[in-house]
């Protein structure tokens, strides 16, 4: 059994790529427990291999060594696996648990005897909580109700003895955890008391303080404290037996029914005082409870009359059971949890001690206390991640210096003066961050995040101006040709380039007049002339070659482009600033590749990453990437609130008429076609069909254009250009226009099959309109949205705040999808919300402060954090190899 369990853990560790993530407490703790308590159950080879680990443990091995060691041990275990009896095989988990609890030194005799004893211990305990059958029919007769029957001098660890292990004790240290229950916790990956304590509720229901029966209000979640008048089992229909009870207090009486749970009747003695919580119903004019939570009155309510924890339900484990066990765990063990946060830090930042925080996470006094605890635990979860990221960053920055690229105040002033608008406060703030970074001899790694239309481009432009002003090159990479072209046009306008239809234009921006700051232009051969290029995949081979050469000779100052910029042939002479727009479309690898384009120069380029995606993915990048962030959290003035409506199938005609009205008023409209999950080809088909339907049947007199991802870049550009210049009224499109396009005259965004898109994406679509002065509209068409989709659409109607939408999306659809396998190198977050920017920033600052003061994290109060960071570093290294 022991070997079985060991093998499983090792296999899991292998599956998790040797990151020491198979068991929560770390493999070393697990191995030590096994070797100490079950050593005699292991073959001598296996035992020897465990003993052969270095003193610092498995944790201290390199990934390659870990792999080697595990493979070797697995080999030994496979070799010695003896065939089990059919009966005990079924009982693996239970017997494993039994073995866990039997100290090895008390075991005597041959392995086979031990196995018998083991299964004898575990088998006879039928699991009653969920009514499941005892696995071996004959074993039921020998059931031992209270304590497992132990033979031949074997003794189960007493809870007291196990308690000595502190929170690393197996959950059997809890009196309320018999073997049968332990097995179920095992399946939830809860093995130790620590695991249990950190198994947090999904939410709490607020049953509040008890009220008199007469004050119950239909439909509310409430609690009464009353006496039991009668309680009996009742047959309801042919198959259902239930419990029916009448309870009452001085103000009145009421009925409670527990369907399908006849056994409750026996637990409700007449005259006893009971507390009952639930949603108040009504029968025959009287209040009633159906399937309420209940418990007999005590000072220490866990199921009723307070904020009651609701745990993620899992097969066979009921909330009532978990609550009861949790209460014991908290009472006996919470104060044994080591606190990884130094006391000084906790005091300064008002973070609760861990014992309080954990206790309150389960049984909060009130919502404020719950939030306070959540904040503390989230902080603790985020801090090691921030420390890890910042350490990586410090290492990286040390190894590759950047050249300072200060933007002289005079140029900054004139650059701003040349803009057709005044920067918003948020833009000023972010620009300040960026220019500050550029002045330093360490490469900037900054993420600029801002809702669509918040005006990020101009910040990028300023960074590019700084590069040019310092005689360096800048590039701006966008995920689509349309967007790259748009940036190219924006820069052309900004730099005052006249004409120039080709991929390269020259400009003489007034703000870069070399006469004013000659010292900056020493290295430049062309006085004050800036050359801007557009590099996309649709360039002809000859053009591309010429462009490559010009870039390499340093004759191009700024290059806009798509991922064509990171292709093999591209070389820069002296890359100073790299801007990556709409980051979420690019992976970390592509980011790195672009940065490397400048690497043959002596310096690492500064990098600015921009994204309009407020979804947690971005914040995940913040956590998982090693970037600083600035947020443009304000839209330019005068922007209209975009009116958003969900349009049902009956109102389609109205919506189409509405679009026509807008076009008649001189505006333009986007129509987004439904997402066809299976393939892009189908997307294209459906968009084409929709385009034809609209053109023929609905708007035969209007000018429609179609655009989709399968079109050649040139064709797409031509379509976009026609739409932008007003030669088309309606643009029918697949999801390709998701990012960044700026068409100020467009006032309607009509989205077909809106229920198929996530909130974040709908929000992106909506951001395409409302860029001009006119009132803009977003029409969400959906025939029969599911309950969940309906909620999303209603949220879209309600708010235009991207962060709120992101948070809601995560709440509705669950955080799971935000933690794809790609990020698996780092732990999933249990408590922290990736949308809690303030807290993330706080942990970031604190991590920086801690590293400034103790870079090696060697102070005693930093030891616990040091260990966590070491583990995270390992797992990232794993991911990268
Ligand atoms: P995004 O952040 O989505 O990339 P853009 O940079 O494309 O936004 O800006 C959206 C539009 O807002 C552009 O037309 C731009 O010229 C305009 N804009 C940017 N900043 C301001 C400002 N401070 N005041 C007015 N308009 C602005
Ligand atoms: Mg943009």
pLDDT in tens, 634-663: 888 877 789 999 998 889 899 999 999 999
Minimal-distance CA residue to ligand 1 atom 22: 636
Cα(330)–Cα(362) distance, rounded to whole angstroms?
A: 9
Tens-place pLDDT, residues 74-130: 988 877 654 433 333 333 333 333 333 333 333 333 333 333 333 333 333 333 344
Q: What is the mean pLDDT of residues 811-821?
A: 44
From ligand 2's centre to the CA of 779, what distance in Å?
A: 23
From the CA of 452, give the closest atom in ligand 1: 3
Instruction: Report which bound ligand comes closest to the CA of 476.
Output: 2
Cα(747)–Cα(775) distance, rounded to whole angstroms?
A: 7
From ligand 2's centre to the CA of 256, what distance in Å?
A: 59
From the CA of 771, give the closest atom in ligand 1: 11
Pocket test for ligand 1, best of 448, 455, 634, 724 (most atoms within 8 A of CB): 455
Cα(859)–Cα(843) distance, rounded to whole angstroms?
A: 19
Q: Is the pLDDT higher at 852 or at 118?
A: 852
User: Which single residue is written with the structure tokens 């119950």?
Assistant: 216
Minimal-distance CA residue to ligand 1 atom 17: 455
Pocket test for ligand 1, best of 454, 457, 579 (most atoms within 8 A of CB): 457
From ligand 2's centre to the CA of 608, what distance in Å?
A: 13
What pLDDT is attached to residue 81?
53
Per the prediction, the chain carries an average pLDDT of 79
3-state helix, strand, coil in the chain (%, to 5): 50, 15, 35
Instruction: Report which bound ligand comes closest to the CA of 585.
Output: 2
Minimal-distance CA residue to ligand 1 atom 20: 455
From the CA of 581, give the closest atom in ligand 1: 4
Residues in contact with ligand 1 by the CB-under-6-Å rule are 421-424, 427, 450, 452-458, 612, 636, 740, 742, 771
Tens-place pLDDT, residues 497-543: 766 667 888 888 878 876 666 666 655 555 568 899 999 877 888 88
Q: Is the pLDDT of residue 834 over 80?
A: no
Sequence-ordered list of residues with C-beta below 8 angstroms from that of 278, at least 6 positions apart, any chain: 207, 221, 222, 289, 290, 291, 292, 293
From ligand 2's centre to the CA of 478, what distance in Å?
A: 9
Residue 619 near residue 835, CB atoms below 8 Å = yes
From the CA of 456, give the closest atom in ligand 1: 2
Instruction: Grade residue 852 by pLDDT with cuts at 50, 70 and 90.
Output: very high
Instruction: Report which bound ligand comes closest to the CA of 634.
Output: 1
Pocket test for ligand 1, best of 636, 746, 770 (most atoms within 8 A of CB): 636
Residue 81 near residue 3, CB atoms below 8 Å = yes
SS3 for 8-31, per residue? HHHHHHHHCCCCCCCCCCCHHHHH
Q: What is the mean pLDDT of residues 546-572?
A: 86
From ligand 1's centre to the CA of 467, what distance in Å?
A: 22
Cα(759)–Cα(739) distance, rounded to whole angstroms?
A: 15
Minimal-distance CA residue to ligand 1 atom 14: 742
Q: Is the pLDDT higher at 584 or at 713?
A: 713
Instruction: Grade residue 586 by pLDDT with cuts at 50, 70 and 90.
Output: very low
From the CA of 450, give the closest atom in ligand 1: 2
What pLDDT is attached to residue 19?
82
Tens-place pLDDT, residues 146-181: 333 333 333 345 556 666 678 888 888 888 888 778
From ligand 1's centre to the CA of 270, what distance in Å?
A: 72
Instruction: Report which bound ligand comes closest to the CA of 451.
Output: 1
From ligand 1's centre to the CA of 424, what distance in Å?
A: 10
């Amino acid at each position: 059994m022991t070997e079985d369990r060991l093998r499983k853990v090792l296999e899991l560790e292998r599956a998790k790529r040797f990151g020491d993530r198979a068991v929560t407490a770390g493999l070393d703790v697990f191995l030590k427990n096994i070797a100490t308590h079950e050593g005699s159950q292991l073959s001598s080879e296996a035992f020897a291999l465990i003993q052969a680990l270095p003193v610092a443990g498995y944790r201290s091995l390199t990934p390659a060594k870990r792999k080697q060691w595990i493979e070797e041990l697995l080999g030994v275990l496979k070799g010695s696996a003896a065939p089990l009896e059919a009966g005990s095989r079924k009982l693996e988990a239970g017997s494993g648990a039994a073995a866990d609890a039997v100290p090895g030194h008390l075991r005597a005799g041959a392995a086979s005897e031990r196995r018998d004893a083991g299964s004898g211990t575990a088998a006879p305990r039928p699991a009653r909580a969920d009514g499941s059958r005892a696995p071996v029919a004959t074993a039921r007769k020998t059931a031992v109700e209270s304590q497992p029957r132990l033979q031949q001098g074997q003794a189960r660890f007493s809870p007291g003895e196990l308690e000595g292990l502190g929170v690393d004790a197996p959950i059997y240290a809890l009196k309320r955890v018999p073997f049968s229950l332990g097995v179920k916790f095992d399946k939830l990956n809860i093995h130790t008391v620590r695991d249990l304590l950190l198994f947090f509720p999904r939410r709490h229901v607020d049953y509040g303080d008890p009220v008199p029966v007469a004050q119950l209000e239909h439909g509310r979640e409430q609690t009464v404290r009353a006496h039991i008048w009668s309680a009996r089992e009742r047959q309801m229909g042919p198959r259902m037996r239930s419990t029916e009870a009448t309870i009452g207090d001085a103000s009145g009486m009421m009925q409670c029914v527990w369907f399908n749970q006849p056994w409750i009747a026996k637990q409700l003695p007449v005259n006893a005082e009971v507390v009952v919580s639930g949603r108040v119903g009504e029968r025959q004019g009287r209040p009633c409870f159906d399937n309420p939570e209940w418990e007999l009155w005590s000072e220490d309510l866990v199921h009723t009359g307070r904020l009651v924890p609701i745990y993620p339900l899992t097969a066979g484990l009921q909330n009532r059971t978990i609550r009861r066990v949790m209460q014991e765990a908290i009472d006996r063990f919470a104060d044994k949890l080591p606190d990884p946060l130094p006391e000084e830090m906790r005091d300064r930042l008002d973070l609760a001690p861990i014992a309080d925080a954990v206790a309150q996470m389960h049984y909060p006094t009130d919502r404020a206390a719950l939030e306070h605890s959540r904040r503390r635990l989230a902080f603790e979860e985020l801090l090691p991640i921030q420390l890890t990221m910042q350490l990586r960053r410090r290492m990286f920055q040390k190894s590759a210096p950047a050249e300072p690229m200060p933007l002289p105040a005079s140029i900054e002033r004139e650059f701003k003066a040349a803009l057709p608008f005044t920067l918003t406060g948020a833009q000023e703030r972010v620009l300040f961050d960026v220019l500050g970074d550029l002045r330093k001899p360490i490469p900037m790694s900054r993420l600029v995040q801002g809702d669509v239309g918040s005006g990020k481009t101009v910040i990028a432009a300023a960074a590019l101006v700084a590069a040019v002003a310092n005689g360096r090159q800048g590039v701006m990479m966008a995920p689509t040709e349309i967007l790259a072209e748009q940036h190219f046009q924006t820069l052309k306008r900004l730099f005052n380039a006249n004409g120039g239809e080709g991929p390269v234009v020259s400009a003489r921006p007034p703000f870069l007049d070399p006469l004013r700051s000659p010292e900056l232009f020493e290295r430049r051969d062309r006085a004050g002339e800036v050359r801007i290029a557009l590099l996309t995949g649709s360039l002809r081979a000859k053009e591309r070659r010429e462009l490559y050469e010009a870039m390499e000779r340093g004759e191009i100052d700024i290059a806009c482009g798509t991922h064509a910029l990171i292709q093999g042939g591209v070389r820069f002479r002296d890359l100073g600033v790299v801007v990556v727009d709409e980051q979420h479309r690019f992976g970390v690898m592509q980011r790195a590749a672009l940065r490397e384009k400048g690497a043959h120069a002596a310096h690492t380029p500064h990098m600015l990453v921009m994204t309009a995606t407020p979804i947690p993915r971005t914040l995940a990048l913040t956590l998982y990437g090693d970037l600083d962030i600035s947020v443009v959290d304000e839209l330019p003035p005068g922007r209209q609130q975009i009116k958003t409506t969900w349009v049902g199938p009956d109102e389609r005609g109205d919506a189409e008429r509405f679009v026509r009205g807008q076009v008649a008023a001189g505006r333009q409209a986007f129509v987004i076609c439904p997402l066809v999950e299976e393939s892009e080809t189908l997307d294209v088909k459906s968009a084409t069909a929709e385009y034809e339907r609209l053109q023929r049947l609905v708007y035969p007199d209007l000018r429609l254009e179609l655009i989709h991802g399968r079109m050649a870049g040139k064709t797409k550009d031509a379509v976009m250009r026609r739409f932008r210049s007003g030669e088309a009224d309606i643009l029918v499109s697949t999801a390709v226009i998701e990012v960044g396009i700026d068409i100020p005259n467009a006032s309607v965004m009509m989205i077909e099959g809106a229920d198929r898109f996530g909130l974040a994406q709908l929000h992106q679509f909506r951001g395409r309109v409302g860029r001009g002065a006119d009132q803009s509209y977003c029409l969400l068409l959906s025939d029969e949205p599911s309950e969940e989709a309906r909620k999303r659409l209603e949220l879209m109607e309600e708010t235009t705040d991207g962060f709120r939408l992101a948070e809601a999306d995560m709440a509705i659809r669950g955080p799971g999808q935000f933690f794809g396998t790609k990020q698996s190198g780092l732990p999933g977050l249990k408590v922290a919300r990736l949308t809690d920017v303030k807290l993330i920033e706080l942990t970031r600052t604190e991590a920086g402060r801690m590293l400034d003061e103790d870079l090696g994290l060697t102070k005693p109060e930093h030891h616990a954090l040091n260990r966590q960071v070491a583990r995270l570093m390992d797992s990232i290294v794993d991911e990268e190899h």
